[in-house]
Chains A and B, each alone.
Chain A
């Protein structure tokens, strides 16, 4: 175990303050509209203190825990990508000139400290790094390179969590500056804090803390390990890419289509989805142009539009595109699976479609093993 310090709630307040003093805009979980959303915070008062989330397919509720836990919930419908690739960000600006037009240099983006990032989120940031650094996208890299991450290890997973299946949690191992583990034991309310980077060490050194006792370390560690055994979902990743890529014509995709509303919720809440679109704006006098980047989703009808119509006019193939990309072809493109097991898509799907279940059904009904007939075909005599 890395060198761990122990701080209390005041220490967490101090931590937030140190980051603010260093010029970071600290963004973390807050309660808004009966959900937990990321917003600017200035102290622990802004956090969802004493709240727990009840999540299941298509359901999300907040309820009182009866204690003063600062991090007694898992993830809400947002992820930190709303700061690294803000929807509506101007990624290019130009003004007309004698030589056509000139590029206007963009303003410096804010420095963000991602506060309360779950291990799945930290893993998602790493996955997004692969996508955006490969493409060479300055919108993302400028924000990401200036960011600071305070991760929080999970001890109470939600029924929709399955990070353990992907090896992305419930504890962080890399990609963070500071990692906290909250422990409430009777009257004691402490946070184990460990540094994951030089800057993290430096920040921690500004706080009043004490060294962690061995039993505290062991106990915290055990809580995280136990969380791995209490995952609500499981995704069998063994040979999954091959199964999915061999089942593109499985009639089951059209069965899912009967339930899927193509509402795009899953892509909006997903921390790794990166599809974007561009809106062009021109000032009324025609002298200034802006190119705005928005989030887009492969579930929309227009997404695959080419001259003549969309390539995927049917819902089944659009769902297939999303699931296959996330779990299979992402591996061809970026060398890792695109899912971090955060379970958001399960919770926030209005009809409760479960990615782990659908992947399992495809595996079960693998067309290479199982005789295929469309559901409407019946053998004579049936």
Chain B
């Protein structure tokens, strides 16, 4: 349970309150699977779970995207290149791509949920010939709050990836879709009987997205979500992250809807 001090390689501001840190890995054989997170420790302030948002094929740095919402995350985003941050991990379950081979893959992100999904986009593109049609659907609050905007532009230029982006509130310059991310589902053609979806975003957005996908023929076992709960230890010890019988920190955060069953969507479970 000891955090390992790791050097910050770079800090980049993505949005007003969101930053991406690149961190030197704690050990030589560092690797992670898309969907996993680390526990980052700001010396003397506290420790928080942060999703890894980088390319899993690059083990030379840990890329983590942090939204500043409290004392610890404020401290983390205030660090500079050369500073140290404590790292434990990686923890948690991953976006299992082994079951997606030969299928249409839908990657659906809401808001900052794009951060834990970006590694699976990288992973799928790194092995593009394994999959059929690949679509990224991304919904954000407004055009000014699109995460990884330049990365998205880069992806739009590819012919082997369909990129659909919508916002809840448009602005004068926005010429793209306006409306919830579920409205993008109708714009993409995919085989609902065999396609697989990885969904991450606010829980209410995930619930509605799942309903919309189910109407298109996706079954529970092909719907992956990343659940969020209060994670303090990462190892199933402190009890805070429990979601019905699951410890989200180690049985999740990525889970299939089949695994979770109805009980996980019940009011205040």
Which A residues lie at the B interface, using CB under 8 A?
91-92, 94, 96-97, 99-103, 131-132, 134-138, 245, 248-249, 274-278, 280-283, 286, 288-289, 291, 296, 298, 303-308, 311-314, 316-317, 321, 324-325, 328-329, 332-333
Q: Contacts A248-B263, A282-B45, A329-B245 hold; do A92 and B238 have CB atoms under 8 A apart? A: no
Check B230–A99 contact: CB distance below 8 A. no
Complex Cα distance A145/B200, Å? 42
Cα A137 to Cα B238 in complex, Å, equals: 10
What are 29 inter-chain pairs, A to B, with CB distance below 8 A? A91-B1, A94-B3, A94-B43, A100-B5, A100-B7, A100-B43, A100-B84, A100-B86, A103-B2, A134-B236, A135-B235, A136-B235, A245-B263, A248-B266, A276-B237, A276-B238, A280-B45, A282-B45, A289-B43, A296-B239, A306-B228, A311-B269, A316-B268, A328-B245, A329-B242, A329-B244, A329-B245, A332-B245, A333-B245
Chain B residues contacting A296 (CB-CB under 8 Å) are 238-240
A96, B43: Cβ atoms under 8 Å? yes
New A-B pairs, 5, CB < 8 Å, besides A277-B238, A324-B244: A282-B45, A303-B230, A303-B240, A304-B240, A306-B229
Contact B5 A307 (CB under 8 A): no
* Cβ–Cβ contact B229 & A311, under 8 A: yes
Q: Verify A314–B268 contact, CB threshold 8 A.
A: yes
Residue interface mask B130-148, A partner, CB < 8 A = 1:
0000000000000000000
Contact status B263-A101, CB under 8 Å: no
Minimum CB–CB distance from B245 to chain A (whole Å) comes to: 4
Give A132's nearest chain B residue, CB to CB: B237
Report yes or no: A317 in contact with B269, Cβ–Cβ below 8 A: yes
Instruction: Please name all residues of chain A whose beta carbon is closer than 8 Å to the beta carbon of B83 when the two chains form the complex.
Output: 100
Whether a CB of chain A sits under 8 angstroms from the CB of B232 is yes
Which residues of chain B are within 8 angstroms of A132 by Cβ–Cβ distance? 237
Does any Cβ of A come within 8 Å of B100's Cβ?
no
Partner of A137 from the list B1, B44, B85, B229 (CB cut-off 8 Å) is B1
Q: In chain B between 1 and 46, which residues have their CB closer than 8 angstroms to a CB of chain A?
A: 1-3, 5-7, 43-46
Confirm or deny: B267 has a beta carbon within 8 angstroms of a beta carbon on chain A: yes
Q: How far is the CB of A293 from chain B (nearest CB, A)?
A: 9
Closest A-B pairs by Cβ, 4 of them: A100-B84, A100-B5, A282-B44, A275-B239
Is B5 within 8 A of A101, CB to CB? Answer: yes
Given the known interface contacts A99-B84, A280-B46, A281-B44, the answer about A304 and B236 at a Cβ–Cβ threshold of 8 Å is no
Instruction: Specify which chain A residues have a CB less than 8 angstroms from the CB of B67 in the assembled complex.
Output: 307
Chain B residues near A288: list those with CB within 8 A.
44
Taken together as a complex, chains A and B put the C-alpha atoms of A274 and B2 apart, in Å, by 20
Tell whether, in the assembled complex, residue A275 and residue B238 are in contact, meaning their CB atoms are under 8 Å apart. Answer: yes
Contacts of B44 in A (CB 8 A): 280-283, 286, 288-289
- A101-B269 contact, Cβ under 8 Å, with A137-B237, A296-B240, A304-B230: no
Evaluate contact between B237 and A101: CB separation under 8 angstroms: no
